[in-house]
Amino acid sequence: MQRDAAAGGNVPAHGGAQLVEMAPGLRDIGPIRIEDWARVPACHLGPDRLWALRARVRAIQAGEGAEAAPDGIVVTHGTDVLEETAYLLARTLDPAVPVVVTGAMRTSSDAGWDGPRNLVDAARVAAAGGSRGRGAMVVFAGRIFAAHEAVKMHTVDPDAFDAPHGAPLGSVSDRGVAFTRTAVSPPPLAPAHLNARVALIPAVIGDDGTMLDLARPHHDGCVLIAFGSGNSPPGLVPAVRRWLLAGKPVVLASRCPFGEVVPLYAFEGGGARLVEIGAIPAGPRTASQARMELAIALSAGVPYGTGAVPSPA
C-alpha cells in the first residue's frame, strides 16, 4: 500500500518487481521468480478469489507449466484477512513445499515501513532447509507461526500477529532461521472448490435467536460466537436446534481471545447443553478459523457429524 492524497488514504500501489527492489538483500537469499497474481485489498477477496489463489499456489508447488517447482513460495498479502488465506493454504496444500504468507502493517509512505523486513524474513524462511515439510507458515515482525494458528491480534501495531491457540514456531533475523517448535496439523483436506456458505454470528445479551433464524435459509453451516466457554442466552437455544434439525452444523466458538470452548455448564443455554443437542466445539481455533475450517470441511463433503471440525492436537 501507499498513501494517496487524492483518494484520502492508503491504496494498493506496488507490484512484485517493485517490492523486490524495495527489499535490500532479498535477491541474496537465492534466485527469485516473481508472479503478480493480483493487486487488491485483502478485504476484497471473496471465497472464489481465495480458492483461485490457493489453486495457483498449488500449481506452482507442483511445478505445473513451463517453470520448475520452487524450493519455497512467499505470498504477500493484506493483513485484514491474511489469517483466513493462511488457514486455507495450511489445510488444503501438500506441506512438503513451504508456503510463507507475510504482509505489512505500515505503508511505503510511512516511516518505519515494515514491508521490506517482513518480505526478506519470509524469503529466508521459505528458503530454509528446516522449513521443508512444515507446510504453510506466517512470518511477521521476526516471528514464525504455523499458518493454521496465526491470528491478527492488533489493528495497527507492526507486531500484530500471534498464535492465541498455539505459540510461535521460531524466529528469523539476518542471523538466520531458528525453529523451536513443531505444530501438529490435521491431514490436509482436498475440496474441489470453496463453495460452502458458512455464517459467523455472535451471541448478544438477551439473544432470542433472530439472527440465527434469518441466516439459516442462506447458509450451509454456522459458527456461533458464544460467551465464555460456550454459553449463550437461553432464547438462542431453539434457533440452534432448528439449524441442527435442518441438517446444518453449528460450531460453537468463544468471544474470548484465549482458551477453548469447554462444555462445562449444564444450565439452559450453557455450553454443555448446546453440545448435548449437537453443537460442535471449535477446538483450538478462533471464530474466524473455525469458520474457515467448517467451510473447507463442508466443501470437501466431510459429514459434520463425523468430525467436520477436527482438532489439530
Whichever domain contains 96, its CATH number is 3.40.50.1170
The predicted pLDDT at position 69 comes to: 86
Return mean pLDDT, the chain. 93
Q: What percent of the chain has pLDDT over 70?
A: 96
Whose CA is closest to 31, among 62, 75, 77, 68? Answer: 68
Question: What confidence tens digit (pLDDT) does each residue in 17-54 have?
Answer: 889 998 989 999 999 999 999 989 999 999 999 999 99
The answer to whether residues 120 and 269 belong to one domain is no
Residues 6+ apart with CB under 8 A from 5: none
Cell matching residue 21: 527492489
Whose CA is closest to 80, among 107, 44, 47? Answer: 44
The answer to whether residues 213 and 168 belong to one domain is no
Whose CA is closest to 152, among 78, 89, 203, 100? Answer: 78
The predicted pLDDT at position 216 comes to: 98
Q: pTM of the predicted model, to two decimals?
A: 0.93
Owning domain of residue 43: 2-179
The predicted pLDDT at position 173 comes to: 93
The predicted pLDDT at position 15 comes to: 85
The last residue of one of the domains, among 129, 150, 179, is 179
Domain for residue 174, yes or no?
A: yes
- Cβ(137)–Cβ(148) under 8 Å? no
User: For residues 249 and 305, what is the distance between their CA atoms, to the nearest angstrom?
Assistant: 8
The answer to whether residues 276 and 247 belong to one domain is yes
Residue 308 has pLDDT above 60, yes or no: no
Whose CA is closest to 96, among 188, 190, 191? Answer: 188
The predicted pLDDT at position 13 comes to: 83
The predicted pLDDT at position 79 comes to: 95
Total count of domains within the chain = 2
The answer to whether residues 37 and 112 belong to one domain is yes
Whichever domain contains 237, its CATH number is 3.40.50.40
The predicted pLDDT at position 277 comes to: 95
**What is the pLDDT averaged over residues 145-169?**
97
Domain for residue 187, yes or no?
A: no
The answer to whether residues 159 and 217 belong to one domain is no
User: Residues in the chain, how many?
Assistant: 313
Confidence of residue 191 (pLDDT cuts 50, 70, 90): very high
Domain for residue 190, yes or no?
A: no
The answer to whether residues 155 and 28 belong to one domain is yes
Task: Name the β-bridge partners of 11.
Answer: 2
The answer to whether residues 110 and 210 belong to one domain is no
Q: Which helix (H) or strand (E) holds 273?
A: helix 271-277
Domain for residue 191, yes or no?
A: no
The predicted pLDDT at position 312 comes to: 35
The answer to whether residues 30 and 67 belong to one domain is yes
Domain for residue 186, yes or no?
A: no
The last residue of one of the domains, among 119, 150, 179, is 179
The predicted pLDDT at position 194 comes to: 97
The answer to whether residues 40 and 175 belong to one domain is yes
The answer to whether residues 204 and 170 belong to one domain is no
Question: Helix 47-62 and helix 82-92: axis angle, to 10°?
Answer: 50
The answer to whether residues 168 and 209 belong to one domain is no
Least reliable range by pLDDT among 46-60, 258-272, 291-305: 291-305
